[in-house]
Amino acid sequence: MDKRQVKDKIEQLSDKLNKYSYLYYVKNEPVVADSEFDKLLLKLRKLEEKYPEFITKDSPTQRVGVKIQSRFNKVKHAKKMLSLQAAQDREGALAFDKRNRDKLQLKKLEYIAEPKLDGLSVELRYEEGVFIQGSTRGDGLTGEDITTNLKTIRSIPLKLNLKDIKHLVVRGEVVMFIKDFNRLNKENTQSNLQTFANPRNAAAGSLRQLDASVTARRKLESFIYEVIEVSDREFKTQKQVLNFLEDCGFKVNPEARLLKDIDEAIKYHDTMEKRRDKINYEIDGVVLKINKLEYNEIMGERSTSPRWALAYKFEPRKEMTVIEDIVLQVGRMGTLTPVALLKPVEVGGVTVSRATLHNMDEIKRKDIKIHDRVKIQRAGDVIPQVIGVDKRARSGREKDFTMPKKCPACNSLVVHEDVYYFCSGGIACPAQIKEGIKHFASKDALDIVGLSNKTVELLYEKGLVKSIPEIFKLTKDDLLKLPGWKEKSSDNLIKAIEECKQATLSRFIFSLGIRHVGKHLAEVLAEEFKDIANLKKVTKEEFININEIGPKVAESIYDFFKSKNSLKMLDGLLETGITVNTGIVEGKLQGLTFLFTGTLIKYSRPEAQRKVESLGGKVSGSINDKVNYLVAGENPGSKFNKAKAKPSIRIINENEFLAIIK
Ligand code: IVH
């Protein structure tokens, strides 16, 4: 074969295999035997090995991760990823419908309804019909690039079935089927690895694997439901969007229905709730969306959710079981939380063996005793709760739980404030230290991938990491001595630790675990004080002067930066070579917010948005008080009229915009 023939052959094989995959994974209509598929795949792999220059991005061989990444790159989303407003009951759903109809002045309104999947939202980007990038939700504006991992999901097409789509961005959900989740947990238990609390966490854990071959081994499924950007197509309804997605080759939820009014939508919800246990994956409600897209435009969006969609939730799942014991969990700040150890029980396919009891007051109020038969509830991601005691089932063997005088982890005295109990051990308490280290490495803090809670426990028990700065003293040899740690996993963790040293100031502040300082306040402090050195000098009053900080929080931050122990930890950290950058982009559009409507000629919408952001400006998705400029392209939408009513917003055309960013 000459090179041209090889190239053609590779393309032919790719197309054939992609078609077989589609029929098998999306349509559930296999047309060839597995052995035939494997034979063709092997043939293709061999050809590609010999002629790597002809490997295409959509080759089926690229589904199994070839590249191990050290960290995920950040990806700006084409448009902010919104959440959904929720209704817990029928009244909530009726109120949603009434609000819509009042605004649209209609008697009846059609909805598209589909299951609300309890998975992970993802964004997929196709250029010239080929899958080129996929990302996680992240903070809604920026996610993580998990392209390699997403390629291992067979129902995500590497190439679109429609030939003429130049540019396409879609969103959907990745889930793990309950049977695959149970199998994974069983395997993990056998190999002494951490198990996942629910299929959602398992799906998330599987997608955020730096080694995509691990993702490939975990079975994941995708359902796509939204088109964010598309070239050469216009849609009038959600139904058309779903049909288009199906034509492209995506897996669209087969339970999606077009319903003629809210009564039908409520019936759909009730039927799905009854059928919930027969569905292979976790759903926690149904999503209702107004079918006609012109109505969606009119309804518009709030800052975090569209007005045209609703998550109409199911009742949380409940089961009966027995409390075998009540133990205390010691938190990062020393808070002692009573936890019920349950006789394991299946709640909607997921085994539950622990439930939080919150605090002593809750135990008293619900009159919970050890050995009680209790009703427990599990709602998606929330930690299972005990909702009531079956007092008729009491035998006299039940025992009250009493708060011990000493911390179970370090024997320090337990102190008491309102309904909360604390260990007074501080840095002498191993449980508090371990929790602090776990927090430091967690996703929203310094995000040290590979330093899982389980690994932190192990490193602490072995005496290898007994404080946060000691993370940075770990060597590959230390890790190789741990059970189950191999070359690759050790290298990856050492690399992840090295890379986390380039931290943004807000993440760094959050990672310190200052009482009352969550992600948002950490961002506020970073923006306000720009440097750790400055934070050490700030007075209590200066903290209180910041809008979002009250006296209690100010005191906690102040105390942290004056405490000998925290300063020792900070110095220890800075000595490891951590460099903290302010994360603030300097640029000519600093402090300015832009909003776009209509079609731009010179730039695509995402390009224009990226341009603004690269110059330090912000882009808003809707009209609000922060918007300074509305850039109106051709055929502007409803935002144009709304902006006219706000004198603070300057409306400019594309040429004026180009002049500003020049
Ligand atoms: S439509 C506003 N449809 O639920 C965006 N979302 O709790 C419209 N979700 O962010 C989303 N199943 O990630 C839509 N069938 C479904 C969904 C769904 C799950 C997720 C989605 C959203 C989150 C909100």
Last residue of a domain, one of 280, 313, 346: 313
Q: Is 585 domain-assigned?
A: no
Indicate if ligand 1 lies below 6 Å from the C-beta of 287. Answer: yes
Closest CA to 336 of 321, 326, 344: 326
Asked whether residue 74 is domain-assigned, the answer is no
The token duo for 589 is 């559009």
Task: List, by residue number, the catalytic residues.
Answer: 116
Going from the Cα of 193 to the center of ligand 1, the distance in angstroms, rounded, reads 31
pLDDT of residue 244: 98
**484 contact partners, CB below 8 Å, separation of at least 6:** 191, 192, 193
Q: What is the pLDDT of residues 508-532, one digit of tens each?
A: 999 999 999 998 899 889 888 888 9
The pLDDT assigned to 70 comes to 56
- Which runs of consecutive H residues, i.e. helices, occur in 325-397? 360-366
Element (H, E) at 283: strand 283-290
Q: Does residue 117 have its Cβ closer than 6 Å to ligand 1?
A: yes
Task: Let me know if residue 271 belongs to a domain.
Answer: yes
Please tell me the predicted confidence (pLDDT) of residue 211.
Answer: 79
Residue closest via CA to ligand 1's atom 18 equals: 116
Query: What distance, in Å, lies between the first and last C-alpha atoms of the chain?
Result: 52
pLDDT digits over 227-245, tens only? 999 998 999 999 999 999 9
Across all residues in the chain, what is the average pLDDT?
Answer: 90
Residue 306 and residue 296 in contact, taking contact as beta carbons nearer than 8 Å: yes
| Domain carrying residue 657 | 593-661
Distance 456 CA to ligand 1 centre (A): 34
φ, ψ for residue 535, nearest 5 deg: -60, -30
Q: Is there an atom of ligand 1 within 6 Å of 121 CB?
A: yes
Torsion angle, alpha carbons of 540, 546, 552, 558, to 10: -30
Calculate how far, in angstroms, residue 84's C-alpha sits from the geometric centre of ligand 1. 6
In a domain, 69, yes or no: no
What band does 78 get if pLDDT is binned at 50, 70 and 90? confident
Q: Whose CA is nearest to atom 17 of ligand 1?
A: 116
Of 27-36, 78-87, 529-538, 592-601, where does mean pLDDT reach its minimum? 27-36
- Nearest protein Cα to ligand 1, atom 10: 83
Q: pLDDT tens-digit profile of 91-126?
A: 999 999 999 999 999 999 999 999 999 999 999 999
In a shared domain, residues 572 and 615: no
Give the CA distances from residue 47 to residues 61, 83, 477, in Å, rounded to whole numbers and listed in that order. 11, 45, 40
Structurally, how many domains does the chain consist of? Answer: 5
Tell me the mean pLDDT in the region 574-590. 73
In a domain, 634, yes or no: yes
Tell me if 73 is assigned to some domain: no
From residue 501, give the alpha-carbon distance in Å to each of 203, 448, 456, 578.
28, 10, 18, 4
Q: How many angstroms is it from 124 CA to the middle of ligand 1?
A: 15
Q: Smallest Cα–Cα separation from 258: which of 247, 268, 250?
A: 268
- Residue 159 corresponds to which tokens in the numbers above? 């190439």
Same domain, 369 and 227: no
CATH of the domain at 347: 2.40.50.140
CATH of the domain at 558: 1.10.150.20
180 close to ligand 1 (CB < 6 Angstrom) = no
pLDDT at 467: 94
120 Cα nearest atom in ligand 1: 13
Quote the pLDDT of residue 484. 83
Radius of gyration over every alpha carbon of the chain, rounded to an integer in angstroms? 27
pLDDT of residue 520: 86
* pLDDT tens digit sequence for 310-343: 999 999 899 999 999 999 999 999 999 999 999 9
Q: What mean pLDDT comes out for the span 134-154?
A: 92
Q: What is the CATH number of the domain that holds 617?
A: 3.40.50.10190
Q: What is the SS3 assignment for 500?
A: coil
**One domain for residues 240 and 132:** yes
- Kindly state whether residues 611 and 568 are assigned to the same domain: no
Among the candidates 547, 579, 611, a domain finishes at 579
Least confident of 234-248, 538-552, 558-572, 632-646: 632-646
Q: What share of the chain is helix, strand, coil (3-state, %, to 5)?
A: 40, 25, 35
**Same domain as 490, residue 639:** no
- Ligand 1 pocket check for 123: Cβ under 6 Å: no
260 and 380 inside one domain = no
pLDDT of residue 138: 85
Could you tell me if 490 and 468 lie in one domain? yes
How many CB atoms within 10 Å of residue 43?
Answer: 14
- H or E stretch covering 227: strand 221-230
pLDDT band at 586; cut points 50, 70, 90: low
Q: Residue 427's pLDDT is what?
A: 85
At a CB cut-off of 8 Å and minimum separation 6, what does 537 contact?
none
How far, in Å, CA of 83 to CA of 461, rounded? 41
Q: Using N-to-C axis directions, what is the helix angle for 3-21 and 34-50, rounded to 10°?
A: 150
Give distance in angstroms: CA of 281 to centre of ligand 1: 15
Q: How far apart are CA 535 and CA 551, in angstroms?
A: 16
Q: Determine if ligand 1 sits within 6 Å of the CB of residue 306.
A: yes
Same domain, residue pair 409 and 455: no
Contact 114 CB / ligand 1 (< 6 Å): yes
CA distance 352 to 121: 25
Specify if 299 maps to a domain.
yes
Report how far Cα 311 is from the mean position of its chain's Cα atoms: 17
Query: Based on the domain organization, do 367 and 448 belong to the same domain?
Result: no
Q: Is the pLDDT of residue 69 over 80?
A: no
**72 in a domain, yes or no?**
no
Residue-level pLDDT at 64: 64
Query: Percentage of residues in the chain with pLDDT exceeding 70?
Result: 97
∠ Cα 355 360 362 (to 5°): 65
Q: How far does the centroid of ligand 1 lie from the alpha carbon of residue 322, in Å?
A: 35
Average pLDDT over residues 485-498: 90
Is there an atom of ligand 1 within 6 Å of 284 CB? no
Counting beta carbons within 10 angstroms of the beta carbon of residue 246, is it exposed (0 to 12), middle (13 to 18) or buried (19 or more)? middle
The pLDDT of residue 277 is 87
Q: Are residues 475 and 376 in the same domain?
A: no
CATH assignment of the domain containing 236 = 3.30.470.30
CA-wise closest residue to 609 among 623, 627, 593: 593
Give the model's pLDDT for residue 27.
Answer: 82
67 pLDDT more than 70: no
pLDDT at position 93: 98
Atom of ligand 1 nearest to the CA of 286: 15
Same domain, 545 and 403: no
Asked whether 209 and 182 are in contact (CB, 8 A), the reply is no
Binning pLDDT at 50, 70 and 90, where does residue 602 land? confident
Beta-sheet pairing, 593-597 with 579-581: unpaired
pLDDT of residue 196: 86
Domain's final residue, options 313, 344, 367? 313
Kindly state whether residues 152 and 296 are assigned to the same domain: yes
- Position 212 scores a pLDDT of 83
364-391 pLDDT, tens digit per residue, is 999 999 999 999 998 776 789 999 999 9
- What is the reported pLDDT for 625? 85
- Which parts of 212-279 fold into alpha helices (H)? 212-217, 238-248, 262-275
